[in-house]
Structure 1
């Protein structure tokens, strides 16, 4: 639980929050009763990656999420508590993972039937060797993390040292990591090995148990709307901040709407690169720390074209990582019927960075979501970021201060709010936690995590 101590008496302040994603919404909600809060959002909608869209599917209206999709009680403790406080309903989500290489290799995590969706895999030495390497990695990686052997190593270097096969690396572990972090396989090779293994441990991705995943009933906009109702009168949408200047007694914020406004404190609940661009007087520490965690854009396409999924029905899963050839680009297709309980008679998918375009006649829309890109320098910056928090009346929040997921964004926003005297009616959960509800599954791991954050 949290070591944060909030003061008994809080002097009321004017606080600006830049960005109405989960970090900004959470911070504003926790501060709304003790400070005069103004939440600025550049778009004409709230929620950031919580983006539910309505489509007409052969005459039937369907609401579907295109960014944040799922959560679980184990790894999202603050979000679960927040949803309970808001009265947000959720339903079970079917989470699983698959890999497909142009029909030549296909497997999924849906038990033995998924592992051997291709019957010939049972006789392939290379495939059976991959499964042995799964067990080997799952046994060795936690020990090597505990011993400190992973410190300073990129994931690719660690896998070479471990001596696992290329089939395991390219057909199992890197696709899984690339799907989780919305990254390329090359970026995953450079990902810090200790952080990678720690994340897999905390999410129980190296044993036979898995968290029970949930999705918001009616789409993620349901929770956004409930927060917005509590923040009525505090939100200024379609009003982007363009420049922030720090002063001795506070900050000056310039927006598109007119003259600069004075606030006592500002919370930058936006991406690291956006925060740096807004700070016209960023000092050396701020510049170095914010630049250490870059963002990259990802294209999400909502469609009904099943050709971007594995060819065999038994190899299809909630998350489908597909390539047309071994050295070509890959993409991840989310099966929204499995993830959100949408009628399977109306197939619906979201593909992230499609390696080939879905049929235009079967496409409903496109969206861009930016994701943080982590490396050793970025994770080192996270560990010392507290040294700039609150300096010159400026605070930072966002999923980039954690692993890049929804709980990380909420946690970072609440952490800042609590330091400013904010209030939440549950015990704040700091960092990775253990516990929660678990199910059993006869497979090595269930790699599906949060959809593109």
Structure 2
């Protein structure tokens, strides 16, 4: 008889372990939301009687740094297509607009050809691209935040506020002040691994045809009837022989093993008696609540259309306070429509309410030097017994990281119990 396994959470980590372990365990999946997928969340907008699929969470990937996800998509025969990953910055206070797509993007505002401050910023970007890799390789970045590193290396405020913080804030969906505390070592390694430290190092990016919903449906098809949606787990309790899970409606279930594929902070809250190690490690991860709004309001995009990019970062000020938002141009990223403009704004600024299609809430991990230290020990909490963990916080916080953690955990469980070698990943 197969052991009973509960999987809590149906983001790519939860769906991933279910996919990899379904033949070896009697699985059940629990999802607090009324939909399956977590950040795999395609919204359908009706346009002339046709439903247009538009992704609002996971959107893009590449073949170099998403190897496990590529293996999964190949296994499921998921159709993919090429996309572009250009990036623009609008700094309203200084009336600056530029993007990284060649000369006409950098100097879309021709006045910047004769702007010493802008030229100096570009020179500092070039310097950062070279020096940061050297500092990474020699260990200089260890235990330093972005703020620490920028201060020590004497980069100016334009470089920080109009380039580095927009880039890092857009990538990790965090406010600029939070991004300042990001570990410099992780940021530079991520930039390096993703080909973001030079004009000739950019990777080809891809998106899933017809939205990530199409891969999700293929992935969950074999275990769809094992998923319970709209069920929040309040408590996970080790009874000695079995693991008991208790729902918010006071329903009690018993399993041989439980995999918590939720955010680290949520995982910790569910544990009735966390071990010292679980408490020490999971408590180091905090999350940023972000509002993702699907809309068609072009007023938030750069005034100069030459600057329009796949990712667009807007910095504004109101009542003396800086405001920032990332705007994904979904027509550029996913070629969703040639009739209407569609955008996804993270924590939007001043949108026309009549042009809003959908408002969603996501939570993204906040990485600090302390969380990075905890991350290096996370595999230890999967050695303690019948409760296991996986999720994007095991890596950089992205789709590949979540699925990679699912692959690693699945290999561990299968090798422990049956000595079966998992081919995935």
Quickly name the TM-score band, shorter chain normalised.
over 0.9
In the alignment, structure 1 residue 292 sits paired with structure 2 residue 284: yes
Classify the secondary structure of the residue corresponding to 2:202: strand
In the alignment, structure 1 residue 353 sits paired with structure 2 residue 353: no
- Matches of 1:165 and 1:60, distance apart in 2: 49
Alignment of 1:417-436 (within 5 A): 417-421=410-414, 426=423, 428=425
Classify the secondary structure of the residue corresponding to 1:210: coil
- Matches of 2:157 and 2:3, distance apart in 1: 57
In the alignment, structure 1 residue 181 sits paired with structure 2 residue 175: no
Q: Is the 8 A contact 1:247 1:392 kept in 2?
A: no
The equivalent residue for 1:241 is 233
Compared with structure 1, are the counterparts of its residues 127 and 268 closer, same or farther at alpha carbon in structure 2 (3 Å cutoff)?
Answer: same
The equivalent residue for 1:211 is 203
The equivalent residue for 1:396 is 389
Instruction: Give aligned pairs, total.
Output: 417
Question: What per-residue deviation string (whole Å, max 9, x for no partner) do you get for residues 106-155 of structure 1?
Answer: 00011111000100011000000011001100110011111111111111
Cα deviation for residue 60 of structure 1 reads 4.3
- Matches of 2:50 and 2:225, distance apart in 1: 35
Classify the secondary structure of the residue corresponding to 1:328: strand
Q: Is the 8 A contact 1:301 1:365 kept in 2?
A: yes
The equivalent residue for 1:198 is 189
The equivalent residue for 2:16 is 26
Cα deviation for residue 386 of structure 1 reads 1.8
The equivalent residue for 1:263 is 255
Alignment of 1:15-414 (within 5 A): 15-57=5-47, 59-102=49-92, 104-207=95-198, 208-256=200-248, 259-325=251-317, 328-354=322-348, 356-414=349-407
Structure 1 runs, 4 residues or longer, greater than 3 Å off: 57-60, 256-259, 422-427
Q: Is the 8 A contact 2:411 2:422 kept in 1?
A: no
Compared with structure 1, are the counterparts of its residues 104 and 274 closer, same or farther at alpha carbon in structure 2 (3 Å cutoff)?
Answer: same
TM-score, scaled relative to structure 2: 0.95
Cα deviation for residue 283 of structure 1 reads 2.2
Across the aligned residues of Structure 1 and Structure 2, the Cα RMSD in angstroms comes to 1.7
Q: Is the 8 A contact 1:190 1:375 kept in 2?
A: yes
- Matches of 1:168 and 1:232, distance apart in 2: 49
Question: What per-residue deviation string (whole Å, max 9, x for no partner) do you get for residues 201-255 of structure 1?
Answer: 1111112221111111111011111111121332222222221101222311112
Q: Is the 8 A contact 1:79 1:410 kept in 2?
A: yes
TM-score, scaled relative to structure 1: 0.89
Structure 1: segments with no counterpart, 5+ residues: 1-10, 429-453
- Matches of 1:61 and 1:52, distance apart in 2: 11
Compared with structure 1, are the counterparts of its residues 27 and 132 closer, same or farther at alpha carbon in structure 2 (3 Å cutoff)?
Answer: same
- Matches of 1:163 and 1:242, distance apart in 2: 48
Q: Choose between structure 1 and 2 for higher RCO, CA contacts under 8 A separated by at least 6 residues.
A: 1
- Matches of 1:100 and 1:417, distance apart in 2: 44
Classify the secondary structure of the residue corresponding to 1:107: strand
Question: What per-residue deviation string (whole Å, max 9, x for no partner) do you get for residues 316-365 of structure 1?
Answer: 101110122495111010000000012243111000001x2310111111
Classify the secondary structure of the residue corresponding to 2:385: helix
Q: Is the 8 A contact 2:72 2:424 kept in 1?
A: no
Q: Is the 8 A contact 1:19 1:42 kept in 2?
A: yes
Compared with structure 1, are the counterparts of its residues 127 and 264 closer, same or farther at alpha carbon in structure 2 (3 Å cutoff)?
Answer: same
Structure 2: segments with no counterpart, 5+ residues: none
- Matches of 1:170 and 1:70, distance apart in 2: 26
- Matches of 1:424 and 1:234, distance apart in 2: 24
Question: What per-residue deviation string (whole Å, max 9, x for no partner) do you get for residues 269-315 of structure 1?
Answer: 00111101111111222112111001121001110001111111011
